[in-house]
Amino acid sequence: MPRRWATIDADQPSPCRDQSWSDLRLTLDRRPATFSGMLLSPAVSIEPLSAEGPMSAVRTESNDDLCYHCGTANPAGGHWRAILDGSERCFCCAGCMAIAQTIRAAGLMGFYAQRNRLAERPGSADDYATYDAAGDAAGWIAHVDADLREASLLLEGIQCAACVWLNEEYLKRQPGVVAVAVNFATRRAQVRWDSRVTRLSEVLRAIAAIGYRAYPYDPARREALAGRESKALLTRTAVALLSMMQVMMFAVPAYISVDGVEPQFQELLGWASLVLTLPVVFYSAAPFFRGALRDVILGHFGMNVPVALGVGGAFVASGWATLNGSGAVYYDSVTMFVALLLCARYVELRAQQRAGEALEAVAPELPATAERLTRYPAELTCDVIAAAALVADDLVRIASGAIVPADGEVVEGRSSVEEAVLTGESWPRAKEPGDRVLAGSINRDSPLIVRVHKAGASTALAQIARLAERAVNQRPRVAQLADRAAAGFVTSLLVIALVTGLAWWIIDPDHALTAVFAVLVVSCPCALSLATPAALSAAVGALGRRRILVVRGRALEALTRVHHIVFDKTGTLTTGQIRLIDVVPLGRRGRDHCVALASTLEQGSAHPIARAMPLRKSTAPAEAISSHPGSGVEGIIAGRRYRFGRPQWVAELHGTPLPDCAHNVIAAATPAALADDSGWLAWFTFGDALRPGVPTMIGELRRRGIRVSLLSGDRTATAECIARLAGIEDVHGELRPEDKQAFITELQARGSAVGMVGDGINDAASLAQADVSLSFSSAADLARWSSDIILLGDDVIRIADALDIARRTRLVIMQNIAWALVYNAVAIPLAALGMLTPLIATLGMSASSLLVVANALRLARGDPRTATRERQAETLVDVLEGTASSR
């Protein structure tokens, strides 16, 4: 039997009454094309099961207008088809078709003959298998190696640090799952698994089994989820606050012992308070009860357990007292407790969302489409394709105002391009043929034609995005210890509450429930569980706003212990770009003529000296050009032979001694000479530029008690010259990569915590060896992947900023933990001894939680001294030019 294929047009609306195609929105070919979380390109095909095998005897007439499974109208212009029971059946969606195939495979086709009502449409939670088919094409699944796969997921239902712990621990126990990291602030999970053992769909089902929902990460869905979370929490908080105010008003007579209030009115106020407390308990506090039930089922007691016990127990006891007409009621305490707890949670949620937004801004989305030129240069007609479909050597047209969809090289056109996405500089840079452009940058002026070098997941922006994913999903050791401490604290708290209840039951049974409720409320572990994650979220957000990307969670903790920072030279302290510093004519020809001759000889060369030459050409073309590696270039222009390159080699052409200026070469400069067969024509000086702000940054590090060293593979004299300009005293030149690594190892053996700042492939081993490593976004790929912190841009002063924020973060974490421990050490005994009423306990708990969050938010505001700090811009170019002009 021939195989049949089913396709669905992405332009068609979903037929679902309660779903849309955009359950997971991902734009391809300018159309949102998804269904039930499965990506569908405009022509994605699904191959149904073969019709071979046992068939049911039941036959049903096929109706192409209605879904065979659920009876919903099929979409116009296309629907899903499969051979079932010997006949072609039509379905409205992939989910219905998959269920029907499963029923057929199980030999249960009689279901369709015996049913007395239509089946329900499958929900998106049941469509996890579709992610396996679409994951690779959509870019959701990354191939770490031949067998390991990795995906970034967005989790719904995360409420507290215990939820993070639960998801991580549960997933780690699943067969085939290798590593899991969940970030509380962004609701983002990074999961790595062995594809030989499990699949993405199994990971998603495991998450659903413990009461959460997960989807492949998508910024649009994250934004929508954040909006829904904020709105839902705000609504629950508003209901609790309104009920609290009214219940408190009804409780006034009891607090001030108003005389003359008739018993029937007191009873009426009690019933009114009960009614007003119902929405607080069953709506506002519902997430606490659901979380507590999940924790109990899974055997892990989080902060929801004491909250649910306290609220539920106090409400049940108060309701029983109201029904009997005697006994103490706690409606005011219950409503206030829930309202203030939700207020603290809302403040925490907004702080986390702001931190997540700051990290999202680090790597914005690429455009969904690109204009590909298929007949260039004969024609400039474009085909609009998905940007993800671009491959190396494709030619694309970048319109004015458009975002560059891939890394590449300008082939035609001149424009200015804003590269703030990677460099942090908002001022556009001029681009012309031969210049590199990066994915995510914005073309501000004229259209450009660009040859693609890297597209999709290979672009520099995509790599930064993956590093950002790693950044938000890793927590330092102190955070992990705090999570375990909070979990142990809850267990201890429940034991204390039980002992308190038993003791008061013996001493004064009427006061037992009040004391237990006070203990559960006053010692709510919110402050302890929030102490570390709140500070880390604020710190990472503050660093993100400064264009500092924390790639590994341990980086902040390690930065606080650093005593010694080691710098590479080229590309780290310097820009790594050779520039023409000076030209000294030595013959009858002028400066511009000599520059034109040298530029003509270097035309077509990929040598750094050639790239540093101005784009000028002599009136006559160069002929018989030959390159001599390590020496220079030779050619004939207008019948005369010229050499340009290393002075000693150039001198062999004419045999005259080196000119006087050869003896005044600065150590950090690279000399080159131009000559013909008659003698010297010009002396060129090239040099690398010191990054602006390097001396200021070195001074800031010294003021913080940090020792600084410079390690370089360049000549010792060159390294010493750069070190003097930067203000570094400890210099080591002519080092191999293994020498740099050995230097760091020796420092660590002496007890120093070492930081390393580098940018090249040869720095990767040293970066990995250091306790904490930093690199720039322009660094080599291997260097970036070996780094703990990445600086997006060229502002080196942010190294000192990162150190400051790390130290302040440690201080805030210690303050928060100390406060939480001291508060609970004082408050719990007072509550257990009956010296705190539930109302006072509620106020104390809320104030404690809000104080912890407010203290953490100080990190987000930054250090005012940083904003006013004067930054010095001193470059090697300025020094060399001044030296050259003085000659």
Instruction: Based on the residue annotation, tell me whether 568 is a catalytic residue of this protein.
Output: yes
Cβ atoms 845, 522 nearer than 8 A:
yes
Ordered alpha helix ranges (H), 655-704:
694-703
- 23, 332, 394, 568: the active-site residue: 568
Q: What is the distance between the alpha carbons of residues 596 and 600, in angstroms, rounded to a whole number?
A: 6
Going by their DSSP bridges, the two strands 754-757 and 622-628 should be labelled as: unpaired
**3-state SS track over 854-887:** HHHHHHHHCCHHHHHCCCCCCCHHHHHHHHHHHC
Q: What is the distance between the alpha carbons of residues 316 and 285, in angstroms, rounded to a whole number?
A: 14
Cβ atoms 124, 37 nearer than 8 A:
yes
Cβ atoms 574, 691 nearer than 8 A:
yes
CA-wise closest residue to 299 among 444, 547, 490, 81: 490
Q: What is the distance between the alpha carbons of residues 454 and 374, in angstroms, rounded to a whole number?
A: 18
In angstroms, how far is CA 381 from the centroid of its own chain? 37
Residue at token pair 């370089």: 712
Q: Which two tokens stand for residue 225?
A: 């989820």
Q: What is the distance between the alpha carbons of residues 524 and 360, in angstroms, rounded to a whole number?
A: 32
Cβ atoms 38, 124 nearer than 8 A:
no
In angstroms, how far is CA 558 from the centroid of its own chain? 20
Q: What is the distance between the alpha carbons of residues 68 and 73, in angstroms, rounded to a whole number?
A: 10
Q: What is the distance between the alpha carbons of residues 163 and 487, in angstroms, rounded to a whole number?
A: 11
Q: What is the distance between the alpha carbons of residues 560 and 789, in angstroms, rounded to a whole number?
A: 14
- Mutual angle of helices 304-324 and 477-507, in 10-degree steps: 30
Residue at token pair 């023409």: 580
E strand or H helix at 400:
none
Q: What is the distance between the alpha carbons of residues 824 and 845, in angstroms, rounded to a whole number?
A: 9
Q: What is the distance between the alpha carbons of residues 66 and 72, in angstroms, rounded to a whole number?
A: 5
Please write down the long-range contacts of 384-391, taking CB distance under 8 Å and 24 or more positions apart.
Answer: 384/29, 384/30, 385/29, 386/28, 386/29, 386/41, 387/455, 387/456, 388/28, 388/139, 388/455, 388/456, 390/452, 390/455, 390/456, 391/452, 391/455
DSSP 119-177: PPPPPGGG-THHHHHHHHHHT-EEE-SSSEEEEEEEEE---SHHHHHHHHHHHHTSTTE
Amino acid in the structure at residue 491:
T
Amino acid in the structure at residue 101:
Q
Q: Which two tokens stand for residue 278?
A: 């119902």
Q: What is the distance between the alpha carbons of residues 502 and 507, in angstroms, rounded to a whole number?
A: 9
E strand or H helix at 370:
strand 369-373
Going by their DSSP bridges, the two strands 448-454 and 407-412 should be labelled as: antiparallel
Q: What is the distance between the alpha carbons of residues 120 and 108, in angstroms, rounded to a whole number?
A: 17
In angstroms, how far is CA 699 from the centroid of its own chain? 32
* Cα 435 to Cα 470, 603, 658, distances in angstroms: 31, 15, 36
Cα maximum dimension of the chain:
121
In angstroms, how far is CA 702 from the centroid of its own chain? 32
Q: Which residues are catalytic?
A: 568
